Amino acid sequence: MTSTPPTQERTARAAEPALAGALSTVRRNIETFGDLYPDDTTRDDRYPLRPAQGIFPEGGNRGWTTSFWPGAQWLAWELTGDDVFRDAALRHAADFERRVRNGEDLDTHDLGFLYTLASVAPWRLLGDESAREAALLAADHLMMRFLEPAGIIQAWGDLSDPAQRGRTIIDSLMNMPLLTWAYEQTGEERFADAVRRHTTQLREHILREDDSTFHTFYWDAETGEPLRGATEQGAHDDSCWARGQAWGIYGFALNHRATGDPTLLEAAWRCADYFLAHLPADVVPFWDLVYHDGSDAPRDSSAAAIAVCGLFELAELEPGTPRGERAGAAANAILDSLVARYAPEPPEASDALILHGVYDLPKHNGVDEGTLWGDYFYLEALTRRALPGWKPYW
């Protein structure tokens, strides 16, 4: 009996209904948008083109979410081997190289989100040298946001902006893998040191004693003194924004894998236990974990998808252990609920892979819509389940 070639095996798995529906939407969106970029969220379940702004034309490569689009294409290529997905993602890789070389819209810590998926992924998968160079340039730009003596990467805006000075957010944990990768590529200790110091500061200050998290935290940029926690997108400063808690699960787990720091692993578990303890009956969270069954608050399917990826990561970090098995079971339960209740049916009913996400409820932005990051992490979660041992881009 001969074994099934990997490409055939992957094609068979990609034909499973949930994956098949998601992949058909990625393919359809390539036909719709070409080399342009959808907006952050859908509008009535359809993605408009990213609006023109300043020097950027409609559909231009700006903002923090554009890389989730080629990221989904790389996943689709790994699942199917279909060059339609690879070729589309490579065209975006070239556009991201142009963006970083031209210095366009780089004043953000989200260079990690952007260049891990758009540039590190093609380097890991294809050995693409141009993508590698772009990712290293992005890592250098990200290091410009490292603040001494606070030991943090500033989140947003011009470094001289007093409103943003000394602020970081829990999402930043997902931007550290770009610096870890840059250290692996160059051996330059400054990258690894920034990851160690930044993640330690978040573990000590953005993770609360009750295992919930602040969305954002401020340090005195001159003295390094920790100042206060707050929120930008949660219900209130001392509530627990669901997507932030999900970033904590996945981000602390990834940074434990990178650094070997056991306290980061425990931080990931603390975030996971709190998240799981505050889920409603269908195990997809409300947009803030302060809400419970019976509330009419919106759900955030994107937070669920991120948490699934983090829980699968925890299961891989501790295979065969009781809590590793618990993480895997929870990941599968949440993913099953997303497939059954939050994926469009039929897939053609929306441009999004999953519905009922929330971008920023306090600002009434992208509420009860599909989101580019929700789509990406949902497809990553399906990939992790379909391809055991799959290596993440992070």
Neighbours of 188 (CB within 10 A): 15
Instruction: Tell me whether residue 44 is one of the annotated catalytic residues.
Output: no
Q: What is the DSSP string of 144-202?
A: TTEETTTTEE--BS-TT-TTTTTEEEGGGGGGHHHHHHHHHHH--HHHHHHHHHHHHHH
Catalytic residue among 171, 211, 261, 300: 171
- With 0-12 / 13-18 / 19 or more C-beta atoms within 10 angstroms meaning exposed / middle / buried, residue 160 is exposed
- Using alpha carbons only, give the angle 175, 179, 181 rounded to the nearest 5 degrees: 110
Assess whether 171 carries a catalytic annotation: yes
Tell me which residue of 184, 349, 173 sits closest to 251, measured CA to CA: 173
**Measured distance CA(229)–CA(365) in Å, rounded:** 23
> What residue type is 253 in one-letter code?
A
Q: One of 39, 95, 110, 300 is an active-site residue; which one?
A: 110
Q: What is the DSSP string of 103-123?
A: T-S--BTTHHHHHIIIIIHHH
Positions annotated as catalytic residues are 110, 171
